[in-house]
Structures are given as C-alpha cells and as structure tokens.
Structure 1
C-alpha cells in the first residue's frame, strides 16, 4: 500500500497542500491565557498574534506520545508504511514523543513499518521537505527511495529569517535582555538561520527595507539554481512584507514557484508578529 506521510503543525504547510497530497497533521499545543489549544485545530495563528500584540506571552508544548500512538497504530493496522517528518528535535520534544509511540507499537506488534525523520527544520523549511516528499510518494517511489529523498532535502534546506521585535526571541532565550533592548532602540533587525536544527544568529541589519534586500542577496549567495526551485516565504501576520520579498525574489531569480503562508501558532508564539522567513535549497536533486 502507498506510504502515509505525516507532519506536525510546526511545518506550517498550507491546508491545500495537506489536502492535495493527503498528508496527516499532528497539532502542537499552544497555551494562551490559561487555556490549552491545538495548533490549527482549536486555535488559529491570527488569534495568537493579536494576543501577543496586546501583551500576552503564549507558550507551547509538544504533541504527546498518545497522539502519535493512535495515528501510527491506525495506519500500521492497515498495513501501510508510515513516514513522520518531525519539527526539529532541537526546538521541540515532539520528535521524542513520536519515538516513544513507535517503540510502544514495536513492543506490541511485529515490525510496524514506521519511519521517523528529524527534519532539523522549522516552518516551511520543514514544510518544503514534506512537499517534495509528497511528490515522490505520488510518483510511486519505493520506501527506500522516499527515505533517501527525505535525507537529501533535510541536508540541503536553507532557512533565513528575521523578527520584528527581539523581545519575543528574548523570552525564548535566543537573545539576551540587553541585546533585545539595544536592538529595539537602534532598530536593528537580526537575521538568523538554522544549523543542525538550531536557531543561529547570522548577522544584523539596520532597518526593515534593508533586511528584505539582504534576504534576497543571501538567497543568491546560498541558493542553487533558484529559477528551478519552489521557494517558500512565511510571515507572522505581515503579508505585505512577505509579498514584497516575493516580488524582489522574482525580479532577481525568477523562481519556478513561491509559496507564501502565515506562520502558525506554535512557531509564531516564539517568533512573534512581524516575522519574515525564507526557505530554499542550496543544492538540487538531479
């Protein structure tokens, strides 16, 4: 039977992509103003961004092993191979929850075919890996071919992003209180990327317009054959800047496709409103 692809809501995959490729979504948990919600199920990102602008400090939690047990068992009982693409294990415990559930099923059943892949990615970096993998599954590749494809995209996905307010990263321990204060005073926009699944400061740019231009430049410096790629942009309730970035990328590199999507509640709770993120590959699978 065909491989079943599962992602979590840290992937920020648009609903039409989930529906088109029949990808199952596991929700991360968002804690806001005394209540727990399931990302993209019982809460939407707009609610989270509006609350943050009004001073709320949402927190998040990983999906539980029980959640993964139920979904893995459903498809294992049908005899379907399962591939779960996990939000970076350096940023969430959700990968570990899935691993616990897989172990439990292996203890109860003989050799369920469950593969858990740490994407070492976030937002549409994670989502683009799933997008490419879904196409490989649709094209009828063997399980091993699909796993090899996943490994390629995990190793070649580039993240470049900036946040509107360093205060949100300060809350999550990504920058110090002093850095957040000075950055805000000087209107410094930090650029960050992802290495081995971790958020790493890249450089600082002064001013919002300059940071968009620098993101375009970095795409050219780090990307490979951008005109042949599907590129993704995600934003924290700032569609205008996302569209501006997309237009500049089209002018500079004419990508095959650009996907624009709002960052979900789970990642938005840490990055904050005004975040802009860009995702592309530094190599192409020929």
Structure 2
C-alpha cells in the first residue's frame, strides 16, 4: 500500500484527510503569550482568525518535530507500506528538510519525497492529485514522477487584504509590501520558484477579482483533468465570485472550496482569498 503524507500547510483538515486517505503532520503556531497551537487540530481556522485580530504581535510558525515523521516512517515500514511525502516549498519552511532528515535517522528506504514548490491551496491540490493517481493504480515511482511534472503546471494566485502579515513574517521583502499596500491597492501574490512573489495589483475588491481572473487566463487557463481549489480565510462568500467566474465564464467544473488554515493564514492575514489550479498544459 502507498501511504501519502503531507503537512498542515496543505490546509487539509483531519476529517478530509481521513476521507482522502492521507496523513497530515501539523506545523505549529506560537501565540504571543507562548501558547503553542497544532495547526488544524487545536483551533478551527475561524477561531484562530478571531485570535489573530487581537494579537499585538504576529504569532510565529514553526515546522513539526522530526519524531512525528520518524514514527510514521517506522509504522509504514513495519506494515510493509511505501510512503510518498508531499510538503510545502523548502524555500518557505524547513518542513521538507525535516521530513527527509527523519527518514535518514530511522534508515528507511520505502519513502519518496516531492517538494511541492508551493503552499496552501497549491500544495493541497498536488496532494489531491496524488490521491487520484494512487486510486488509478500508479506505482510510488510513477506517482512521484507525475507530480514532478504536474507541479510545473500548478499555479496559486491570491488576493491579500493587507501585506503587513507577509512582511512581518519575513515571507515578503518590506519594500515590496509597502509598495503593494499603498493607496488602497489590493495586491495579488503568487508562488514563483517556491517563493512568494507579487503577481499584480488592483484597486478595491472588485478590481482584485478582475485581476485574479485575468491572471488565470495569463497562466494558461484551467485544466479539466483536476478540479481547481478556491480558498478563503474569513468567509466562503469571498470565493463566490470565483466560483461564478469558473462555471459561467470558463465552463469549468465547480471548484472545491476550503478555508485557509492557521499557519498560512498567519502570513496571508484575514481577508485573503485565492485559487489554485493546474493549467491546460497538464497531461497525465
């Protein structure tokens, strides 16, 4: 059997993880009073965003303990199972390196790793594709190879209400954050070469949606092979225009909709929403 392992930056909550047949290792969020929350476990995203609004100091996020990975690998090896690990971009977190180090420490050879070179909705979409390929009967090596190809066609575009969270968390240069936050501009961000990058700017919320739609077209449209994934921080209403655009304008299947979790929400901030998708160049 092939076990699929990912981290909580994929924003796959426990109930869906069980449904998909994947295991999610939680990253950690440390509040200003020292309280440590396991991402996706100790607080719902909505509960966390209520806390985040009251924080004077931005919470810090940290990678999981290597012991969590070690136990998973040992259990899989004892059962004779193979493991496919899919983790957030190594440019944004040490989780990928931590997972690989843990495999070396327990000396297992039944594990393959895929650096998603993405995060959040993008990472989650890659995990869902892995589940789809596993169900189709692909081998571990075939799935890993297919994912390496697929991630070249994977895109994440998000509108951010306030870039101060990305700046404070060190995920975006201060000069870029200041420029993006001027004059009521709604910045668009993307993931480029595994790092957060500006994708455009728009004035006001309606302009942000239009800019996001144009970016989808610029990036090659949306593949029909894998449903797109829309995400929001505070309210599902934030992605309703995206759902309408995909279905009415692009005649795409209805996208999956999920709430963005605590770790990514710490850096994106309340009011963020976005879309992850594979472009039409994807071939499986």
- TM-score, normalised to structure 1, is 0.92
Q: Contact (CA 8 Å) 1:66, 1:101: kept in 2 or not?
A: yes
Partner of 1:50: 50
Q: Contact (CA 8 Å) 1:5, 1:23: kept in 2 or not?
A: yes
Partner of 2:138: 141
Q: Contact (CA 8 Å) 1:8, 1:28: kept in 2 or not?
A: yes
- CA positional deviation for 1:220: 1.9
Structure 1 gap ranges (5+): none
Moved more, 269-278 or 180-189: 180-189
Q: Contact (CA 8 Å) 1:238, 1:273: kept in 2 or not?
A: no
- CA positional deviation for 1:129: 0.6
Partner of 1:76: 77
**2:69 & 2:218 partners in 1: Cα distance?**
39
Backbone CA RMSD of aligned residues: 1.9
**1:174 & 1:203 partners in 2: Cα distance?**
17
**1:140 & 1:159 partners in 2: Cα distance?**
28
Partner of 2:283: 285
- CA positional deviation for 1:228: 4.8
In the alignment, structure 1 residue 255 sits paired with structure 2 residue 252: yes
Q: Contact (CA 8 Å) 2:180, 2:201: kept in 1 or not?
A: no
Q: Contact (CA 8 Å) 1:226, 1:254: kept in 2 or not?
A: no
Q: How does 1:155-174 map to 2 (within 5 A)?
A: 155-174=152-171
- CA positional deviation for 1:242: 1.1
**2:29 & 2:87 partners in 1: Cα distance?**
17
Question: Any idea what the Cα deviations from partners look like across 1:94-118, whole Å, max 9, x if unmatched?
Answer: 1111011011121xxxx53111211
Q: How does 1:94-173 map to 2 (within 5 A)?
A: 94-106=95-107, 111-173=108-170
Moved more, 238-247 or 272-281: 238-247
Alignment coverage as a number of residue pairs:
281
Q: Contact (CA 8 Å) 1:163, 1:190: kept in 2 or not?
A: yes
- CA positional deviation for 1:47: 2.3
- CA positional deviation for 1:13: 2.3
Partner of 1:41: 41
| Structure 1 residue ranges (4+ consecutive) displaced by more than 6 angstroms after TM superposition | none
SS in 2 for 1:24: strand
Partner of 2:267: 270
Relative distance call for 1:144 and 1:58 in structure 2 (3 A) is same
Partner of 1:7: 6
- CA positional deviation for 1:27: 0.3
Q: Contact (CA 8 Å) 1:3, 1:80: kept in 2 or not?
A: yes
Relative distance call for 1:80 and 1:178 in structure 2 (3 A) is closer
Question: Any idea what the Cα deviations from partners look like across 1:180-222, whole Å, max 9, x if unmatched?
Answer: 5565451111111111110011221111111111111211221
- TM-score, normalised to structure 2, is 0.92
